Chain A
Amino acid sequence: MRFNLDRGLWPEAGLAALATLTVAWPLTNLLREGDWIGPAILLVLLVAVVGAVLRSLDADPTLVVLGQALAVLGALVWRYLSDTLMWVVVPGPDTLDRATELLREAGRTLQSFAAPAPTNEGVEFLIVSVLALTAVSVDAIGVTGRAPATAGLPLAAAFLVSVSNSGRAMDPWFFAAAALAWLLMVAQQGNRLVSGWSSADRRESVGAHDVSHGPSGHRTVARVLAVVTVLGALVLASVVPHLPPTFFAEGLARDPDGRSVGGSGQVSFTETMDVTADLHDQSDDPVIRFRSPSRPLQPLRVTATNEYDGERWLPPDYDPGPPQAPQLTPGTSPQAAMADELSLQVAEMSVLSNSLGAPHLALPGPVLSVTSEDTTMQWDAELAAVRVSERPDTYQVSFLQVAQTGRVPDGVGDAEADPGEWEDYLQVDPDGEAALSALADQVVGDATNDLEVANLIQQHFRSGLYTYSLQLAPGAGGDDAISHFLQTRQGYCVQFATAMVMMARQQGIPARMAVGFLPGELQANGSFSVVVSDAHTWPELWIDGLGWTRFEPTPGIRSGPPPPYSELNSGAGEEVPTVTETATPTGVPTQQPEGTAEDTSWWEDLQDFVRSAAPILLRALVVVVLLGVLMAVVAIAGRRHRESVLRHAATPQERIEGQWELLKRSLEDYGIDPPPDRSPREMASHYVTAARLDRPTADAMGRATTVLERARYADASRTQDTDDTTMHGDVMRVLDSVSAKLPWNIRASAKLFPRSGWHYLRALPGRLLRR
């Protein structure tokens, strides 16, 4: 095994690594911290170096790829799973568990956070692993396999993943950089190929072409073409209206009814709300279309959360009740907690199409019952949220609505909530407490009734002092999110609702964040259409006598006018709030015993996975089988075509002609076309030049040609019975030598989709007709 630096293709390996890192660049927009960058660069470089060293040692391509994969695996284990190793190097029983745990963590994070997501260890592990695997495949295809153009496929896949999901238009620089890196790979390979041409070939081009240009002329043409291509792509991309990259990732217009043209069949719902981030996703993807005679329409509530970490609201812990289908009814009747005098009406809503992904369901509240044939539902009493096992396409809801003409009974809101019982709902963000308390003193004054306090706070936020804006005011440095908002008075629903929740809590009123959608727009056909950008959040306060009550502190267009009942009020300065939910929260949520669930969970997970993936797997299997059959048919047809003359040969001369035809058609499969109707010698010399045969192979070709000439042009007695066998040996030698020099992709296509196969199949109908 000799070390040959040149065979290592070091520059190509470097360019492949650069290309992989370039397509990972947009990830910096998707992840908040850059912890992953260092390990990713190191691992990608490791792949390049290992590949180049193995190639320098003239290792088999399979070994090179295997070596790279092992190096990546080793590095990943060492970096992220080293504490689970036995004797420092051997993966222990916990290694796989730990890896799974890291991936789960990554999955949870990416599901629950909108971009940019925080980079925890799981996310870092996932990103670095994926990038390293991309680097291996790019290096394997582009450098070891010498098909840099094809290496664009894994690059494009990685690029698509990294530019999509940010919810914003792609930064043109990302594309330009990725395209340039890829073109550099292709150019380097082309350069090496062209400079490998011998000077003899250069002389051969005398004649029709100007020899003075030679390969360098081609190089200039290639450079100009590359520059024109990149510029063209950039200009085209900026001129032609384009779709956000997520469209490509999720597929166009998959909804069979065409209702959600341009969108995916499903809208996933992020439960995390970041108080510190600007709002980007202004997508018009439809979420729900419904009809309801009820007026005014209430927001559709999905879930609620009470956990705030100083910057964002975290997803709640669900504690759903038993499964119910096809009709769900809440455990306790909502009327129970309502003040007796409150005038209530039962209202109906019928959802015509629903794209909100499971397990979420958007409902007006308080819910009396939900009916859906498509799914199994569970009622989470504490959050007043419905969890579904599968996304139902349609469902009907009946709910309670406070009559528009009603008034709030006396005594409501008088009783203080017990801080011991409501501990979780009374935690004020410690950073913002000072600012909140200062403002609350100003706003609330000496009001004591909870409902009155809540109304005062709501009025304060809607008073015109605050500006509704999707962009937050520039950072005032060091401030926490709530103080920043109270100071700059600019934000959108998340900031308004957060401030109100915190202020209410500060005043001793239990409060939580409800998440859902505004009721959307009335369509020409009388239905309402809710789109993704209708997503909304609002505070829910626990008012004694009313239960959980919705307030709307967000001013302006997004939230619409203040709840209409405030205008009906009898001048007392009090609003009649909408009552969203009245179930009494239990102080200590009841937990399911978990032992049995743990034991069988992996098996059930697997079953679930298989069940959900079965249709996709089946389809993939059908495609694979069809592809396999097609390959087999073409390959077999190719063999028949190549050997057709040989098969029908009766005399030694005909067998020799058959061997020649086999050679001719096999070379055609390898992309070396025969010159039309030339003499055997002319053909042989054409093949020697076109296939760049080395001396021994050219000699074999010469011998085969002589045998053919003798069979074709000499007296029949001059052909011996063994000539056919000798010629077969020479033909095979030529074919083997030609095949060995070709890149693997041409070899594979000659084996799987040979041109001779297509010839045969094309000619088949005619042949059958003639018969």
Chain B
Amino acid sequence: MTVNAGPAPDLDSVQSVAGAIHRAISTVIEGKEHALRTAVTVLLAEGHLLVEDVPGVGKTMLAKALARSIDCNVSRIQFTPDLLPSDITGVNVFNQDTRTFEFRRGAIFANIVVGDEINRASPKTQSALLECMAERQVTVDGSTYELAGPFLVMATQNPIEMEGTYPLPEAQRDRFMARISMGYPSGAAELAMLQSHGEADPLGSLEPVTDGETVQRQISAVRRLHTAPALREYVVALVTATRQHPSIRLGASPRAGLHLLGAARANAALVGRDHVLPEDVQALAPAVLTHRLMLSGEAQLTGRTTADVVSDILQRTPVPSGRR
């Protein structure tokens, strides 16, 4: 049985487009291969990306660089405590001339939305993103507006322990396909950064390497990638394992499974492989699963992290061979 229909995906094109984007971002962000790769993967898998780290390590820079490298509609929202949901989604404004209400689009109407410091807005405002991110549409005053593809929300946030932050609600977190963490750059990368950023703004010289339409084509190519039944079993087994793990209070949702499979597909496509391997799933599982899991009280007290649990689950879950 096969779930994938249509012609074989053009993986060379996927690889070349993704490679170009990757190279472009690399000129701005140095020494963060893994983060960059995950970002491109999420873009191709049609997901949304959450970048979480302490201030000043280049979260926003990454988001902006990715947005700038693609010639498409980009908007940026600075989340602040007084930001209103309508600032994001848009609002109906009464036109005095026509004497009708006109819809004024919010910042979300773009191909790439950079949401900076998303957890500084109140949960109410954060929730405005729920519908757009999951359903790629906006409903205001009973009218629904479709969002054009590609659509990628890249949000950055500070760790929740920081001053003036609101934790993202579970539903919000679940809508992000992956969460990555930048981490401090290595000494050499930091030196190089001081040098390049001192002379000129590298972001300023970053030219788009592709356009939104091309990216959308790659996304649909990735979507057609073959996934074997054994592999899908593996994804389900992993997701189920998070729900049964003793250290976990809230396991991964079915959406997490979809996201994991999608991300694995993109990962395979990035290396030009037309089928997904357990290794693709394993490579993306930490980024896709950790931010959705909630540790039990005991596990928190013992100092375990969700990353530990995911690694434990990966270690223990058998890889189905598909043979009966």
Interface of A toward B, CB cutoff 8 Å: 645, 654, 657, 676-679, 681-682, 709-710, 712-716, 718
Q: Is B147 an interface residue, CB under 8 A from the partner?
A: no
A714 in contact with B274 given A657-B323, A679-B279 (CB within 8 Å): yes
A714 in contact with B279 given A677-B318, A678-B319 (CB within 8 Å): no
Residue of B nearest to A677 (CB): B318
A709 in contact with B318 given A714-B228, A715-B2, A715-B226 (CB within 8 Å): no
A selection of 25 A-B contacts at a CB cut-off of 8 Å is A654-B323, A657-B321, A676-B318, A677-B318, A677-B319, A677-B320, A677-B321, A678-B319, A679-B277, A679-B278, A679-B282, A679-B319, A681-B277, A709-B275, A709-B277, A712-B321, A713-B226, A713-B228, A713-B277, A713-B278, A714-B228, A714-B274, A715-B4, A715-B274, A718-B275
Residues from chain A with a CB closer than 8 A to the CB of B322 are 712
Contact present for A718 and B274 (CB under 8 Å): yes
Minimum distance in angstroms from B97 CB to a CB of chain A: 59
Besides A713-B277, A714-B226, A718-B274, 8 other A-B contacts (C-beta < 8 A): A654-B323, A657-B323, A677-B319, A681-B278, A709-B275, A713-B230, A713-B275, A714-B228
Complex A-B, nearest 9 residue pairs according to Cβ-Cβ distance, in ascending order: A677-B318, A714-B275, A679-B278, A713-B228, A679-B319, A715-B226, A713-B275, A712-B322, A713-B277
Minimum distance in angstroms from A177 CB to a CB of chain B: 51
Contact present for B275 and A715 (CB under 8 Å): yes
Residues from chain A with a CB closer than 8 A to the CB of B320 are 677
Residue of A nearest to B279 (CB): A681
CA distance A698 to B65 in the complex (A): 41
Minimum distance in angstroms from B102 CB to a CB of chain A: 50
What does the 1/0 interface line of B270-311 toward A look like (CB < 8 Å)? Answer: 000011111100100000000000000000000000000000
Per DSSP, chain B at the interface is: loop
Give the residue of A677, A678, A710 whose beta carbon is less than 8 angstroms from that of B275: A710
CA distance A678 to B316 in the complex (A): 9
Q: Is B25 an interface residue, CB under 8 A from the partner?
A: no
Minimum distance in angstroms from B76 CB to a CB of chain A: 40
Q: Is B29 an interface residue, CB under 8 A from the partner?
A: no
Residues from chain A with a CB closer than 8 A to the CB of B323 are 645, 654, 657
Residues from chain A with a CB closer than 8 A to the CB of B278 are 679, 681, 713
Minimum distance in angstroms from B20 CB to a CB of chain A: 26
Q: Is B266 an interface residue, CB under 8 A from the partner?
A: no
Residues from chain B with a CB closer than 8 A to the CB of A679 are 277-279, 282, 319
Residues from chain B with a CB closer than 8 A to the CB of A677 are 318-321
Residues from chain A with a CB closer than 8 A to the CB of B252 are none
Residues from chain A with a CB closer than 8 A to the CB of B227 are 713
CA distance A713 to B2 in the complex (A): 11
Q: Is B231 an interface residue, CB under 8 A from the partner?
A: yes
Minimum distance in angstroms from B292 CB to a CB of chain A: 23
Minimum distance in angstroms from A596 CB to a CB of chain B: 79
CA distance A657 to B323 in the complex (A): 8
A713 in contact with B231 given A679-B279, A718-B274 (CB within 8 Å): yes
Minimum distance in angstroms from A658 CB to a CB of chain B: 10
Residue of B nearest to A683 (CB): B319
Residues from chain B with a CB closer than 8 A to the CB of A678 are 318-319
Residues from chain A with a CB closer than 8 A to the CB of B282 are 679
Residues from chain B with a CB closer than 8 A to the CB of A654 are 323
Residues from chain B with a CB closer than 8 A to the CB of A682 are 319
Residue of B nearest to A654 (CB): B323
CA distance A657 to B275 in the complex (A): 17
Residues from chain A with a CB closer than 8 A to the CB of B230 are 712-713
Residue of B nearest to A714 (CB): B275
Residue of A nearest to B317 (CB): A677
CA distance A226 to B276 in the complex (A): 52
CA distance A698 to B278 in the complex (A): 21
Residues from chain B with a CB closer than 8 A to the CB of A713 are 226-228, 230-231, 275-278
CA distance A23 to B282 in the complex (A): 59
Residues from chain B with a CB closer than 8 A to the CB of A712 are 228, 230, 321-322
Residues from chain A with a CB closer than 8 A to the CB of B279 are 679, 681
> Which residues of chain B (38-88) have a CB below 8 Å from chain A?
none
CA distance A657 to B322 in the complex (A): 10
CA distance A718 to B275 in the complex (A): 10
> Which residues of chain B (216-234) have a CB below 8 Å from chain A?
226-228, 230-231
Minimum distance in angstroms from B168 CB to a CB of chain A: 33
CA distance A681 to B321 in the complex (A): 12
Minimum distance in angstroms from B299 CB to a CB of chain A: 22
Residue of A nearest to B281 (CB): A679
Residues from chain A with a CB closer than 8 A to the CB of B321 are 657, 677, 712
Minimum distance in angstroms from A717 CB to a CB of chain B: 9
Residue of B nearest to A661 (CB): B323
Residues from chain B with a CB closer than 8 A to the CB of A715 are 2, 4, 226, 274-275
CA distance A714 to B320 in the complex (A): 15
> Which residues of chain B (250-268) have a CB below 8 Å from chain A?
none
What does the 1/0 interface line of B10-23 toward A look like (CB < 8 Å)? Answer: 00000000000000
CA distance A645 to B324 in the complex (A): 11
Most B CB within 10 A of own CB, among A654, A678, A679, A681 = A679
Minimum distance in angstroms from B125 CB to a CB of chain A: 43
Residues from chain A with a CB closer than 8 A to the CB of B275 are 709-710, 713-715, 718
Residue of B nearest to A716 (CB): B2
CA distance A716 to B229 in the complex (A): 12
Minimum distance in angstroms from A653 CB to a CB of chain B: 9
Most A CB within 10 A of own CB, among B2, B4, B275, B276 = B275
> Which residues of chain B (84-128) have a CB below 8 Å from chain A?
none
Minimum distance in angstroms from B27 CB to a CB of chain A: 33
What does the 1/0 interface line of B153-174 toward A look like (CB < 8 Å)? Answer: 0000000000000000000000
CA distance A679 to B278 in the complex (A): 6
Residues from chain A with a CB closer than 8 A to the CB of B276 are 713
Minimum distance in angstroms from A534 CB to a CB of chain B: 74
Residue of A nearest to B323 (CB): A657
Residues from chain B with a CB closer than 8 A to the CB of A710 are 275
Residues from chain B with a CB closer than 8 A to the CB of A709 are 275, 277
CA distance A398 to B275 in the complex (A): 101
Most A CB within 10 A of own CB, among B279, B319, B322 = B319
Residue of A nearest to B320 (CB): A677
Residues from chain A with a CB closer than 8 A to the CB of B2 are 715-716
CA distance A682 to B277 in the complex (A): 11
Residue of A nearest to B234 (CB): A679
Residue of A nearest to B8 (CB): A715
CA distance A770 to B323 in the complex (A): 20
Residues from chain B with a CB closer than 8 A to the CB of A681 are 277-279
CA distance A623 to B155 in the complex (A): 78
Residue of A nearest to B4 (CB): A715
Residues from chain B with a CB closer than 8 A to the CB of A716 are 2
Minimum distance in angstroms from B318 CB to a CB of chain A: 3
Minimum distance in angstroms from B275 CB to a CB of chain A: 3
CA distance A137 to B102 in the complex (A): 101
CA distance A710 to B278 in the complex (A): 12
CA distance A712 to B324 in the complex (A): 12
Residue of A nearest to B318 (CB): A677
CA distance A191 to B279 in the complex (A): 39
Minimum distance in angstroms from A648 CB to a CB of chain B: 11
CA distance A676 to B319 in the complex (A): 9
Most B CB within 10 A of own CB, among A657, A712, A713, A716 = A713
CA distance A709 to B318 in the complex (A): 16
Residue of A nearest to B230 (CB): A712
Residue of A nearest to B322 (CB): A712
CA distance A712 to B226 in the complex (A): 11
Residue of A nearest to B282 (CB): A679
